[in-house]
Amino acid sequence: MDMTLMSDIRIMAESATMAESYINVALMPGDGGAYYLPRIVGMAKALELFWTGRVVSSAEALAMGLVSKVVPDDQLMAEVYKLAHAIASKPSAPIRFTKRAAYRGMGQDLHTALDLASSNMAVLEDLPEHKEALQQFVNRKK
């Protein structure tokens, strides 16, 4: 589960389950779980999962925001590739900058986050991809 938590987007098969089961062998989350899980599901739910080691179904994982989507088992890879292709079809620089701003923003105040966004926008607005996309947008509006 800890390795899964490191992913930006998580899609789960209906029959899949997850658990933070370290406690069952007298250990603690050692692969990033103690960092990621409270940020994803909140401290109280994370501690419950850490301290009980109980198994979470796909439906419960979706309800608590642990995954963004649950799909039938036989459709998992098709859904993953569909999402990957949708993201890959977008310009890469804004994706990278948005990811950086979103993750840094988790530990920053609004003013600092807006400063970073402003700096990033200045770089992005100067890229050929932005100019092309803006021209296409304007042409569609006409």
Q: Where are the alpha helices (DSSP H) in 1-142?
A: 2-5, 33-41, 43-52, 58-63, 76-88, 92-105, 110-125, 128-141
Domain CATH for 71: 3.90.226.10
Q: Does residue 109 sit in the same domain as residue 68?
A: no
Q: Does residue 61 sit in the same domain as residue 118?
A: no
Stretches in the chain below the pLDDT threshold 50 = none
Q: What is the pLDDT of residues 55-75, one digit of tens each?
A: 999 999 999 999 999 999 999
pLDDT of residue 140: 86
pLDDT of residue 137: 87
2 CB contacts (<8 Å, ≥6 apart)? 20, 29, 30, 31, 32, 33, 36
Q: For the chain, how many structural domains are there in total?
A: 2
d(CA 48, CA 102): 26
Q: Which residue has the tokens 């997850």?
A: 18
Q: What does pTM read for this prediction?
A: 0.83
Q: Does residue 30 sit in the same domain as residue 50?
A: yes
CA-closest candidate to residue 93, choices 131, 140, 52:
131
Q: What's the domain range around 43?
A: 2-87
